[in-house]
Amino acid sequence: MVAPLRLLAVHAHPDDESSKGAATMARYAAEGIDVLVVTCTGGERGSILNPKMDRPDILDNITEVRRQEMEKAREILGVRQTFLGFVDSGLPEDENEPLPEGCFALQPVEVAAAPLVAAIRDFKPQVILTYDDDGGYPHPDHIMTNKISVEAFEAAGDPDRYPDLGDPWQPLKLYYHMGFTRARFEALHTAMTDRGIGSPYADWISRWEDRPQKWEVTTRVHCGDFFEVRDLALLAHATQVDPDGTWFVCPRDLQREVWPTEDYHLARSLVDTELPEKDLFAGIHTDEVTRARH
């Protein structure tokens, strides 16, 4: 028997899955690929970023509210989802500020990776998505998410590591999200400016001036048809996403025209594949699924 194709995405907080790779996941799920989101923390220390939701009744129940939001987003994307159960570390205002005791980012990597190893062995994905070693941006939970994803990718197939967490299963490819690149935002900014649409991206672009891109884009997944699904999933995280904010300023039709892909860096591969890719499953063969990519 050949295993069906499965994709596992590892994220730090509820809402990260909808802002990073959501259209990719929705596309693969619509094609019949089994997709699982693993959320490391409950987002307990996240701020309320939508002023319309900044109410005491929500703040007092933020953990449960964010779980409910995650469930709505999961349904919209058509994926499965599970929490690892770690506690949000928060984002320190000062780099010298100590992190809260017991939080996710302070766990030993082997401890924090254990439930992810168990999830991989149970779900049996061929492909794993995660953040780069800078976390995509330097949130301590995002950096820890990268660390445990790399650890679990390497350990899940080794019968001598984490021996009590199920039968070994070796994922074949590990990708880093590359959705927030200077090239993408420059393209969108130029297109909006040329059409007389006010662009919010000038400040974003300026942040890259002294920060060269560390990882190259190796893989572009065409998923423009699922940008609306992505946006609906984002809006489901109502405490975290302002519907009048910058996420939704660029018209979707313009995004599809200018940048219809979500982009990734192939960080680890145990199969032969030719770069650049247009499919996360490139090089992975199965008799159960035959798909033409375009």
How long a stretch of residues is the chain? 294
Beta strands in 54-190 (DSSP E): 80-86, 127-130, 173-177
Binding residues: 13, 16, 142
**With contact defined as beta carbons under 8 Å apart, do 259 and 187 qualify?**
yes
pTM of the full predicted structure? Answer: 0.94
Residue 186 has pLDDT above 70, yes or no: yes
- Indicate the SS3 state at residue 95: coil
Span 209-235, mean pLDDT? 93
Domains within the chain, CATH numbers bracketed: 6-180+216-269 (3.40.50.10320)
Interval 251-280: pLDDT, tens = 999 999 999 999 999 999 999 999 999 999
- Indicate the SS3 state at residue 80: strand
Q: Give me the amino acid identity at 16.
A: D
What pLDDT is recorded for position 159?
A: 97
Binding residues for Zn(2+): 13, 16, 142
Interval 48-63: pLDDT, tens = 989 989 888 888 899 9
Closest to 16 in 3D by CA, of 230, 260, 244: 230
Q: Give me the amino acid identity at 197.
A: I
Closest to 25 in 3D by CA, of 42, 41, 11: 11
Tokens describing residue 132 = 């780069």
